[in-house]
Amino acid sequence: MPKINSPDELEHVRQKILSRRDPSKPCVSICAGTGCLASGASEVIAAFEAEIEKQGLKTKVTTKGTGCPGFCERGPVVVIYPEEICYLQVKPEDVPEIVSQTIRERKVVDRLLYVDPATGEKATRESDIPFYKNQIRNIIGNNIRIDPKSIDDYLALGGYSALAKVLFRMTSEQVLEEVKKSNLRGRGGGGFPTGRKWEESRNAPNEIKYVIVNADEGDPGAFMDRAILEGNPHSILEGLIIGGYAIGSHEGYIYVRQEYPLAVENVIVAIKQAEAYGFLGENILGSGFDFTVKVHRGAGAFVSGESSALMTALEGRVGEPRPKYIHTAVKGLWDRPSVLNNVETWANVPLIINKGADWFAQSGSEGSKGTKIFSLVGKINNTGLVEVPMGITLRDIIFKVGGGIPGGKRFKAVQTGGPSGGCIPEEHLDMKVDFDELTKAGSMMGSGGMIVMDDDTCMVDVARYFLDFLSDESCGKCVPCREGIRQMLKILSNISKGKGKEGDIELLEELSGTTRDASLCALGRSAPNPVLSTIRYFRDEYEAHIKQKKCPAYSCREMVSYYIDPEKCQACMICLRKCPAEAVSGGKHQIHVIDQEKCTKCGTCFEICPPRFGAVKRISGESVPPPISEEKRIIVRESRKDE
Ligand SMILES: Cc1cc2nc3c(=O)[nH]c(=O)nc-3n(C[C@H](O)[C@H](O)[C@H](O)COP(=O)(O)O)c2cc1C
Ligand code: FES
């Protein structure tokens, strides 16, 4: 690769890349993100390469493995340009037909298109799919167009032009002012104004300063940072170098968890390519500015994503938080000024520089500008990564982008903000999703996890689940966090086992207050959120568990029982055969009975009993009726049919 020594040379290289690319030439983009790889994308890529060769199209078609466009649940995702035809859940055996029909004949293979579950309508182009149509994909939109291991793909889309702009046409003060003007707030959780943080570091009196990418992404179920790192690593590098220039730093770190091997691999490749082209190293693009980047693999502890813990881990010590009497922006890594920003925050920077702060601030709400990527999961039709403007309502995310709740069930709540976030109920579906509104509702933005729940979800159990996670992940260094979370977890576990006592809710509230006020870091300070938000919105569920020993969602196993209604049982033997615990007795002409001692409460019998019989009953908060006598269990099929 030739070293690029000026913005003119960069433009020349870009034009050369573009001149080698014919926009009318078919290009098959196959998502090679972790989600699609898990559902067989490697085999699909190999099948395309072989089939294209077999059909003699090698010089006429481009094939590439790309980053994740977000619709992982329907992967492997294939998009064929220039028409932008989008095929979902593609298998290697579909490939010959796609090549001969779509690539040769320009005909669409109908059965591989997205079908709207509500209307039955098919969508041919990626941008026609409701999941994508209702998003604004500034950050992840390019993923499906880029082979993450090809810097030329990034350059072809205008990559590194923001870097050239800042180095040659802007002073570092102007860069800082532009970021401040955009009102960009950190995407890693707290929503701290990025420009202010940069300014603090810039003004700190120390020759050596650092800029750091937080790619720890410890929230269970969240994978937006992974998708950006895997899919478009140069966008983060470009943002980081610009940040370094703005604050006067010449050294950057990417702290990425070890469990993201593809992200680590793609980032390392990207760094090597950027060095070869001269976007990293000494005298970048001939500007006189030097900047280097190192990758640090994190051991994968949730708490290591906290700023002071992350910096301690970068120093080679155990990743535990420390008191931050002085901001890490002033005294961070090796006690030097250090700007730590989240992956998505950095990825926004080149866009702000290229398109301007005013463009950025056009989308979003009053206090939260731009877009945010959410990991939309749980009881929702369209699962995946969604990028939406801040200020969009929860209802639009869940019903327009997410396609609503499967199986015609009712929406109950959405948990936002990762394990330390909160649950927001149906009555707040029309609230605007931004940093401030989510906090007001008792939750938080966090890094963008969004777990949708339907009526089958028990809110006490949800709080217990997250406290269980946090109790494992608390570093244990400070007592309020370590003991507070542990005690809250103990009470929640008792409540969900039917052992709750009067006063437990009040005790949970009290412990929440102390843990929130006295913990060392934000892990402990935000840990009560799942407890307090579920008590705030679903207090009646807590009371039902404690007073009536009833789980209204029939989810807490210890509080649920199953029995067979002898009046309705048809002795069909279905539940008897399927019960994994062999707890059902009976026969062809004998009414079935569940042995309560053996029953593991897995609910299989309830799920498979044919709805026209409806013989298996699920109860909570009441006693199981005594089984009928042996003689009465014998039934004559014909007579029962007449009933
Ligand atoms: C327990 C804990 C875990 C965190 N994990 C992450 C993480 O995985 N990624 C992240 O970007 N920020 C994480 N944060 C927030 C960081 O401390 C920090 O605020 C953030 O990286 C700053 O970047 P931003 O201003 O761009 O959001 C975590 C905070 C806490 C308290
Ligand atoms: S990994 Fe392929 S769509 Fe997400």
Reported as a single tens digit per residue, the pLDDT across 136-168 is 999 999 999 999 999 999 999 999 999 999 999
Of all residues in the chain, what percent carry a pLDDT higher than 90? 90
C-beta 533 within 6 A of ligand 1: no
Mean pLDDT of 350-373: 96
Q: Is 223 in the pocket of ligand 1 (CB under 6 A)?
A: no
Distance 414 CA to ligand 1 centre (A): 21
Residue 153: in which H helix or E strand, if any?
A: helix 151-156
Task: Measure 103 CA to ligand 1 centroid, in angstroms.
Answer: 45
Residue-level pLDDT at 641? 52
> Above 70 in pLDDT, residue 107?
yes
Which ligand 1 atom minimizes the distance to the CA of 303?
1
Question: What distance in Å separates the CA atoms of residue 205 and residue 227, rounded to the nearest whole number?
Answer: 36
For residue 310, give the ligand 1 atom closest to its CA. 17
Q: How far apart are CA 531 and CA 514, in angstroms?
A: 13
- Give 639's pLDDT tier (boundaries 50, 70, 90): low
pLDDT score of 367: 93
The encoded tokens of residue 304 equal 């290591």
Host H or E run for residue 145: none
Q: Quick one: which ligand is closest to 228's CA?
A: 2
Q: Which atom of ligand 2 is nearest to the CA of 35?
A: 1
Query: What counts of helices (H) and strands (E) characterise the chain?
Result: 26, 19
Task: Give me the pLDDT at residue 368, please.
Answer: 95
Pocket lining: 73 vs ligand 1, CB cutoff 6 Å: no
Whether 638 has a pLDDT exceeding 70, the answer reads: no
pLDDT of residue 627: 86
* Model pLDDT, residue 118: 77
Question: Token pair of 76, please?
Answer: 């492997």
Report long-range pairs for 297-301 (Cβ below 8 Å, ≥24 apart). Answer: 297/256, 297/257, 297/258, 297/264, 298/216, 298/255, 298/256, 298/257, 298/258, 299/257, 299/258, 300/218, 300/257, 300/258, 300/259, 301/218, 301/473, 301/475
Whether the pLDDT of residue 263 is over 90: the answer is yes
* Shortest-distance Cα residue to atom 9 of ligand 1: 217
**Per-residue model confidence (pLDDT) at position 196:** 97
- Average pLDDT over all residues of the chain: 94
The ligand 1 atom at the shortest distance from the C-alpha of residue 194 is 25
Cβ of 416 less than 6 Å from ligand 1? no
Q: Does ligand 1 come within 6 angstroms of the Cβ of 465?
A: no
Alpha carbon separation from 167 to 162, 287, 337 (Å, rounded):
9, 6, 22
> Do β-strands 62-66 and 584-587 pair in parallel, antiparallel, or remain unpaired?
unpaired
pLDDT band at 339 (very low <50, low <70, confident <90, very high): very high
Q: Ligand 1 centroid vs 124 CA: distance in angstroms?
A: 39
Pocket perturbation via mutation, ligand 2, pick of 36, 228, 262, 266 by most ligand atoms within 8 A of CB: 36
What percent of the chain is modeled with pLDDT above 70? 99
pLDDT band at 442 (very low <50, low <70, confident <90, very high): confident
Q: Over the stretch 76-104, which tens digit does the pLDDT of each residue have?
A: 999 999 999 999 999 999 999 999 999 99
- Mutation probe of ligand 2 site: the residue of 29, 30, 31 with most atoms within 8 A of C-beta: 31
Count of Cβ atoms closer than 10 Å to residue 175 Cβ: 24
Residue 136 Cα to ligand 2 midpoint, Å, equals: 17
Q: What is the C-alpha to C-alpha distance for residues 216 and 300, in angstroms, rounded to an integer?
A: 7
pLDDT attached to residue 637? 56
Q: Return the amino acid letter for 31.
A: C
Residue 55 confidence (pLDDT) above 60: yes
What number is the average pLDDT over the span 603-623? Answer: 95
Tokens in use for 201? 């570091």
- Which pLDDT band holds residue 447 (cuts at 50, 70, 90)? confident
Residues 16, 22: Cα–Cα separation, whole Å: 12
In short, whether 382's Cβ falls inside 6 Å of ligand 1 is: no
Mean pLDDT of all residues in 99-113: 95
pLDDT value, residue 402: 93
Ligand positioned closest to the Cα atom of 32: 2
Question: What b/e readout covers 235-255, taking b as 16+ CB neighbours within 10 angstroms?
Answer: bbbbbbbbbbbbbbbbbbbbb
CB 401 within 8 A of CB 386: yes
CA–CA separation, 633 and 643 (whole Å): 16
Which atom number of ligand 1 is nearest to the Cα of residue 473?
Answer: 1
> Using omega within 30 degrees of 0 as the cis cutoff, is the peptide bond preceding 82 cis?
yes
Q: Atom 4 in ligand 2: which residue has the minimum CA distance?
A: 72
* Strand, coil or helix: 631: helix
Among protein residues, the one with the nearest Cα to ligand 2's atom 2 is 36
Q: How far is CA 55 from CA 45, 49, 51, 83, 85, in A?
A: 15, 10, 6, 21, 20
Residue 325: the pLDDT is: 87
Q: Which residue type sits at 557?
A: R
Pocket lining for ligand 2, CB < 6 angstroms: 31, 33-36, 68-72, 75, 77
CA of 327 to the centre of ligand 1 (A): 14
CA 410, distance to chain mean position in Å, is: 23
Secondary structure of residue 102 in the 3-state scheme: helix
What is the rounded distance in angstroms from the CA atom of residue 535 to the CA atom of residue 201?
Answer: 40
Distance of CA 139 to the CA centre of its chain: 14
Q: What is the 3-state secondary structure (H, E, C) of 361-383?
A: HHCECCCCECEEEEEEEECCCCC
pLDDT of residue 528: 95
Nearest CA among 440, 495, 506 for reference residue 465: 495
Which of 307, 311, 435 is the best mutation target for the ligand 1 pocket, counting ligand atoms within 8 Å of the beta carbon and taking the most?
307
Question: What's the pLDDT at 636?
Answer: 59
Q: CB of 216 closer than 6 A to ligand 1?
A: yes
How confident is the model over 341-353, as pLDDT tens digits? Answer: 999 999 999 999 9
> What pLDDT does residue 602 have?
94
Query: What is the rounded CA–CA span in Å between residue 462 and residue 470?
Result: 13
- Which residue's alpha carbon is nearest to atom 3 within ligand 2? 72
Strand order in the sheet with 422-425: 384-389, 371-378, 449-454, 411-416, 422-425
Joined together, the tokens standing for residue 411 give 């929406």
Q: Is 519 in the pocket of ligand 1 (CB under 6 A)?
A: no
